[in-house]
Every structure is written in structure tokens, then in C-alpha cells.
Structure 1
Amino acid sequence: MLHERITIPKNVSTPSSEAAALKVLHVAETVRGGIATYLNELHPHQRMAFGRGNVHYVIPSDHRKDLNGVEDDEISTFRRQDRSVLGLFRMAVTTLQQIRRIQPDIVHIHSTFAGLVLRPLLLLKRNRPRVVYCPHGWAFSRETSQLSHQTTKLVERLLANTSDQIICISSDELREALRAGISIERLVMVNNGISSSRPPLDSTATAWTTPKTKVLFIGRLDRQKGYDLLVDSARKLADVVDVRIIGSSVVGKHEKLDVPANVSLLGWMNRGEIEAQLEKADLVVIPSRWEAFGLVAVEAMRAAKPIVAFRIGALPEIVEDGVTGVLCGPVSAAELTTALQRAATLDLPAMGRRGRDRFRQMYDIEKTHRALNRVYLGLGHHHQTEAERQVAV
């Protein structure tokens, strides 16, 4: 199978000898969506900094194509069928095999389930590598029962002692960790970022001609992403907005959704097609009920598009209300409707330009890469001693 070869950005600086000596193993139980974007954006920088063969990935085999900038010999896959105990077991076995083979200095674990399985397992390993954990959104910050909230908080608080460093991708995620009782000594904030250069636009994209405000949604069609709230709002604003939805349902087919005439379902698209739709849109809507970060917001800002979103998670950190977009709350179709009406009266191109300036200042992948380098190098190359393991336990 052939994959797109990596183009190393010209502005990636030559690393120090200490940075080049690092070996990093990234492990994820799933990468589909934001984690894939995160790793694809970061990979060329880490590969240049640490050297060819020193950055490796363990991911599900059915998500191999999601890492489109990483070559086959830099990836080890495990088989899984949805989220299951057997799949998690295979992930653990593959990870241990690659640790023995590669002998990484850093194992960078992504998301809750990978962290739940691998951190206690690696604690028992003699001369273990340093463990960096990034939840990409705390499980206890999601819309679940009170019992689930308390249980996941307790588990994360206990497992924090098995992590050398925990990466929070926003100030909101850092605050949530502190409220859950996780020690500040374990935590560090590293904002997500993407390349300042947009991917090439797909020139074959269909035209989007309408006198209405052109609203674009990008994401999964599930409860978290709030697409149902957008559909309800669009139905009420039939004469005001024309909505295009990029994405599809995780379970079931989007054709079964009951949508009004001013909503078009485009399904999943490649990056060039998404960029082409972004170019045509007047604004991007992010109606998520909860969101750890919201990379779609950063992608919209890079494309100079204003954003309409709820005041949840990290979105108020990213979007400046009345400056780069419109924030609303509490989460409801009525509030979203009012926000879209307000946005239609504003100077959207000017807001988009201000958003692009803010992106360049805060969310360039270069800044993410440099911050992660400081985290890695701050941990040093020495392995955890038996005394340290006992303290962690």
C-alpha cells in the first residue's frame, strides 16, 4: 500500500544533539478525528528534530490511512473490532513489543482508554521509558452520569501517579484536572496547533451560490458534536442560513437523518475537499455539547472564517466573542438560533481576518512542537528507579 510521503516544512529548525537523541513512541487506541490531525501535523517536525526512525506509532490497523503523512515502517498496527477488551489487549501487546524493539526514551500515550491500560502496565516494567499522557479531553468532563463522573475522576487521579507528565491541550482541561485533584506537578499545558500553510484546495468542488449566510459544520454526527441542535436551528432559519454538513454518523447512515431543505449532507471528505468548502463558507459553526479543544475552530481561523460556538470547554479560549466569532450559551437550539441570527448581521470577513491573526499568534504547530520538546527534554533520558516506582504506587 502506498501512502503520501512526508514533506518536511522549510521552517523546521535543525535540532540540538540532545533533542536528536530522543526516541518517541506514540500510542493510541483510536486516532480517528482530532488525534489523527494532531499526529499528522506534529510528525514532520518530530521526525526532523529527532531523526528518521526515532518517531514511531502504535495505532489500530483500521485507522492506518488516517495517518497519511507517516510511512509504513514508522507504524505498528494492532487489530481491533470497535472498542473491546481484546482490542485493548492487542494494543498492549503491540506496545510492549515495540518498546522492546525500539527502546524509546518517551512513550507518549493518547486518549483515555490507552492511558487506562498502558500506564499501570508500564509501571511494572523494569527500566521503563518516561510516560507522557495526553487525554485529549477528560472522560469526567463529558456528558455522563454523576457516578461515571466520580469514578473516572478517581481513576485519573490514581493513574496520574504513574505518569511522568500529563499534557493538557487547553487551560480548561488544566483547570478540570486540578478540580479533579490531580497534582499540578504532573500537569503541563501545551496548546494544540496546526500548520500555518493550508492544504491545497480541491478545484473540482461544487459551487455554493446562495444569498443566505453560508454555514459550514465539520465533524461526527453524534450527540457530542451537537449536529441535531444545528439541524433544529437551520429549520427555524430557513430564510437566513444555508447549511452544509461535512461528516457522517458513527452508527447508522446520515441519509436517515430528517433535515430541512436548507441543509445539505456531504458525508466525509478529504482535506482538499474540506478546505474548498471552507473557502466558500461565510462562517463555521461548532455546536458541540462538550469539547476538549476543537481543532475545527483552529482550522476555520486559519482559513479566515469566523466561528459560532457554545461557551463550553476550550472554545471560549479560542474564539473571542464579537471579535473572531460569536459565542452563546447555555447549550440549546434556541441559543444557537439567536447566535446565527446575530452572526448574519456582522462583518464576517473582518472577523475572519482577525481570527487568522489570532491563529498565527497562538495555534501554529511550530509552537506545539517546541513546547512538547521542552516537556520531553525536561524529563531527561534516565529511567525511573525502583524507589520512584514504589512512590508512584
Structure 2
Amino acid sequence: MTPVSSHSPHGQSPLRTVQVLGGGNAGSSAHVRSLTSGLVARGVRVTVCAPAEADRSYDFSGAGAEHVHVPRSSDPTSVAVLRAACADADLVHAHGLHASFRAVLALSGRRTPLVVTWHDRAYAEGARAHFVRLLERRVVKAASVVLGSTSVLVDRARRTGARDARLAAVALPGPRGGVEPEDPDRLRPKVRAELGAIGRPLLVAVGALERHKGYETLLDATRAWRLLDPVPLVVVAGEGPLRAVLQGRIEDEGLPVRLLGRRDDISELLTAADLALLPSRWEARSVLAQEALHARVPLVATEVGGIPELVGDAAELVPYGDPEALGEAVVRLLGDPERRELLKERGVRQAATWPTEDETVAQVLSVYDELTQPLPLM
């Protein structure tokens, strides 16, 4: 691997970067934790500007960063705090649309390079969708470089007006919670017993209970396997505004689904699962899809966004919003152990093509060097 410098443009002191987070996305927060650890190990000074609760969850300080509490809002007070934190930065790196917009406001009038990473697409409907497009345009035009975690996001950034947009696939950090699960053969029956899935297939979905995550379609799809014997159990790990609606349907229709709320043991849940389900309307570089393939759990996912690029032929892909197709894919896989084994093997091969955390840090640092090194004398 080509070594990269961690020095400022003058070659005198360590490069100082500010990482800006909105605090609302687990994938981007985990990435910043991983990136911080790798940058600090390479001699880079890192300040993470994020809500206090994000630091409590991801321990940026423990990774060697200085943490500055910046609330998620874009009010003048938050922007002023962020502007002060960026005062002597060699480079600012913002993650996600709203954090990036705050960084643009905070850097107004300064020549500090701004790198923006789009981990996902900001989801919005109606009038808010127009507002989101305006924010995207403002951000990409101000950014020195836009890094997209998938080709779809890179293309979107270019269409929106980015002068320099590049693919920068984000590595999957270590297990959620930072602890490797215990021996799967011992753990699996324990988790299944806790969930009430002894002697029946266990299907696992993970994600915020929001409309674009496709959980209403998932509930519709359960009709396809309610006649199976034994009836598979679906568990959904996540919390959100749709909880009451989904729980009402589960109870009214007697659906074989359990809402687990927020969980910090996703690796353990996957260890116990027969299938992983991802019914979303949009996904970029889905953490669940990566975790499922790493854990050798067959995945049924919607053919949307960055999913086909991410999983290749290592998952069953179905159209979004089609409960029949989703239900049939699940029933077919549960009845075909050879197909499940094939997907497991393909998953391991596909996961081996993804970047490591070290490779991700090296790529990002090469972008930093490019933007902060002095131009050669002619």
C-alpha cells in the first residue's frame, strides 16, 4: 500500500481534520469512529463535531479524537460552535446531508477544503423533497470533493453539480457494540429461545421503523408463509414513528412478527437467523446486508439503490413494494437448503471484495493529502 502523509501543507505540524456528524445515522457514526481511529494512528489530529449522545454511543474520544458537542440543528448557535471548532482546521470532512450543510455555513468566507461523504440518500417526499434537493445542490457546489459510498450516490452528486465526485466505498466496521459474538453453536439456541423461535424458522430485519424501510410490505408478505408448518417468525430490530401502526396491524391481523425495539446485539440476532430481510424503498451501502453476508445468513433484499452493486449474486433480489415477490422468495429459500448454502458461499466471496477499514482510511487520507499539499513549483 502506498504510504500517505499526515502532515500539513507546510510540513511542520500534523494535519488537523474536523469530522462533522449530524448524529442521526448509525452507519455514518460507525464510519467516523473507524476513520478517527485510523487517522489518529497515522498521526492526524482529529476533532469530531457531533451531538453529545453520538460520542456516548461511539466513543470518538476513546478513539483519540477531541469531541465538540454540536447539536443537530442548523440554528445560528450550532453553526457558531462549529465555525469555532473549524477555525484552525486544515480540512473539514462532513458526513451526511444536514451535517454537510452546517459545515458549508460554518466555513462561509473561508478557504478551508471541505470533503463531503454521502453515505445514503436523504429521504423526503412532497415539498420537503424540493428542499432536500436545494440543500444537496448547495452542499455539492461548495465541496472540494464529494465521496459517495455507492456508484448511485456518485452519479447523483454529479447530476446535482459536484465538481469532483468519487466512489469511496465505506468499510463495514467491527461488530456492533465492538464485541465479537460468542461461539455461534452455543449462542444460536439461546437467542432463538429468547425470541420464541424454537422449532421454527427465524427471519430477521433491522432498521428504523419508517415508511421508506418497507415494513408495511413485509407485513403483507407474511401472508405467503402463514400456511407453512411451522410458521416462520419475523423479528424486527429498530425503533421509529411507525411502531404504533405496525404493532396495531400485527395484533389485529395476528401476524407472526415481533417488534424488538432498539437492539445492540445485531450480530447475535443474525447468528440465530435463518434469513435476513431488507424490504427498503432505498438503500445505499446497507450495513445489514454486509453483516448478513459476513455472517453467512442468506439475504432477501429489494433491488434498489446500491444493493445490487453491493451484494452481486449473493442475495435474492425482489422489486420494492411487491409483497408477493418478497413472500415467494422467502418461501422458496426456506424450502431449498441447497440454494441457501449457495448464497452463503457466494456471500463470503462477495464480502471478500469489499474494502477493509485500513483501505478505507488510506483512501480518505489520500484525498486529504491531495487537497492540503502545496502545488508543485512550475
* Fold in common (TM above 0.5): yes
Alignment partner of 1:318 is 2:310: yes
Deviates more, 1:19-28 or 1:229-238: 19-28
Q: Secondary structure at the match of 1:368?
A: helix
1:32/1:63 contact within 8 Å kept: no
Alignment partner of 1:218 is 2:206: yes
Alignment partner of 1:109 is 2:109: no
Match of residue 176 from structure 1: 156
Which among 261, 265, 273 is matched to residue 267 of structure 1? 261
What is the alpha-carbon distance in structure 1 between the residues aligned to residue 18 and residue 369 of structure 2?
Answer: 15
1:209-244, CA deviations, whole angstroms, 9 ceiling, x for partnerless residues?
445432111111111211222122124322253211
What is the alpha-carbon distance in structure 2 between the residues aligned to residue 143 and residue 78 of structure 1?
Answer: 24
1:156-213, CA deviations, whole angstroms, 9 ceiling, x for partnerless residues?
3344231111111101111222333x24x41011012124678322659533544543
What is the alpha-carbon distance in structure 2 between the residues aligned to residue 296 and residue 34 of structure 1?
Answer: 10
Match of residue 295 from structure 2: 303
What is the alpha-carbon distance in structure 2 between the residues aligned to residue 85 and residue 379 of structure 1?
Answer: 26
Match of residue 36 from structure 2: 43
Q: Tell me, which stretches of 5 or more residues in structure 2 are unaligned?
A: none
What is the alpha-carbon distance in structure 1 between the residues aligned to residue 104 and residue 124 of structure 2?
Answer: 25
By how many angstroms is 1:97 displaced?
1.8
Identity between Structure 1 and Structure 2 (%): 21
Evaluate the alpha carbon distance shift between residue 110 and residue 167 of structure 1 in structure 2; reply closer, same or farther with a 3 A threshold: same
By how many angstroms is 1:304 displaced?
1.7
2:214/2:280 contact within 8 Å kept: yes
What is the alpha-carbon distance in structure 2 between the residues aligned to residue 230 and residue 251 of structure 1?
Answer: 13
TM-align CA RMSD: 3.0
Alignment partner of 1:144 is 2:122: no
What is the alpha-carbon distance in structure 1 between the residues aligned to residue 106 and residue 69 of structure 2?
Answer: 19
What is the alpha-carbon distance in structure 1 between the residues aligned to residue 74 and residue 140 of structure 2?
Answer: 22
2:31/2:173 contact within 8 Å kept: no
Letter in 1 for 2:80: V
2:6/2:15 contact within 8 Å kept: no
Q: Tell me, which stretches of 5 or more residues in structure 1 are unaligned?
A: 1-11, 384-393
Which among 294, 304, 329 is matched to residue 339 of structure 1? 329
Match of residue 207 from structure 1: 192
Q: Secondary structure at the match of 1:193?
A: coil
What is the alpha-carbon distance in structure 2 between the residues aligned to residue 303 and residue 363 of structure 1?
Answer: 17
What is the alpha-carbon distance in structure 1 between the residues aligned to residue 7 and residue 288 of structure 2?
Answer: 34
Letter in 2 for 1:124: G
Evaluate the alpha carbon distance shift between residue 310 and residue 356 of structure 1 in structure 2; reply closer, same or farther with a 3 A threshold: same
1:274-309, CA deviations, whole angstroms, 9 ceiling, x for partnerless residues?
211111112211111112321211111221222111
Deviates more, 1:152-161 or 1:329-338: 152-161
What is the alpha-carbon distance in structure 2 between the residues aligned to residue 179 and residue 164 of structure 1?
Answer: 16
What is the alpha-carbon distance in structure 1 between the residues aligned to residue 239 and residue 3 of structure 2?
Answer: 41
Q: Secondary structure at the match of 2:107?
A: helix
What is the alpha-carbon distance in structure 1 between the residues aligned to residue 120 and residue 322 of structure 2?
Answer: 22
Which among 166, 171, 174 is matched to residue 188 of structure 1? 166
Match of residue 84 from structure 2: 97
Which among 272, 286, 290 is matched to residue 294 of structure 1? 286
By how many angstroms is 1:345 displaced?
3.5
What is the alpha-carbon distance in structure 2 between the residues aligned to residue 42 and residue 15 of structure 1?
Answer: 15
2:224/2:331 contact within 8 Å kept: no
Written as runs of structure 1 = structure 2, the 5 A alignment for 1:1-393 is 16=5, 18=7, 21-51=14-44, 54-68=45-59, 70-71=61-62, 74-79=66-71, 84-86=73-75, 89-100=76-87, 103-125=88-110, 128-139=111-122, 142=123, 144-145=125-126, 148-149=128-129, 152-180=132-160, 182-183=161-162, 185-195=163-173, 199-201=179-181, 206-208=191-193, 209-238=197-226, 239=228, 241-250=232-241, 256-259=247-250, 260-270=254-264, 273-320=265-312, 323-346=313-336, 347-381=339-373
What is the alpha-carbon distance in structure 1 between the residues aligned to residue 341 and residue 249 of structure 2?
Answer: 31
What is the alpha-carbon distance in structure 2 between the residues aligned to residue 378 and residue 357 of structure 1?
Answer: 33
Letter in 2 for 1:165: V
By how many angstroms is 1:318 displaced?
1.2
What is the alpha-carbon distance in structure 2 between the residues aligned to residue 79 and residue 328 of structure 1?
Answer: 39
Letter in 2 for 1:192: V
What is the count of residue pairs matched by the alignment? Answer: 352
Evaluate the alpha carbon distance shift between residue 237 and residue 251 of structure 1 in structure 2; reply closer, same or farther with a 3 A threshold: closer
Evaluate the alpha carbon distance shift between residue 117 and residue 177 of structure 1 in structure 2; reply closer, same or farther with a 3 A threshold: same
By how many angstroms is 1:249 displaced?
1.9
What is the alpha-carbon distance in structure 2 between the residues aligned to residue 289 and residue 315 of structure 1?
Answer: 11
1:319/1:327 contact within 8 Å kept: no
TM, length-normalised to structure 1: 0.79
Match of residue 389 from structure 1: none
By how many angstroms is 1:118 displaced?
2.4
1:29/1:91 contact within 8 Å kept: no
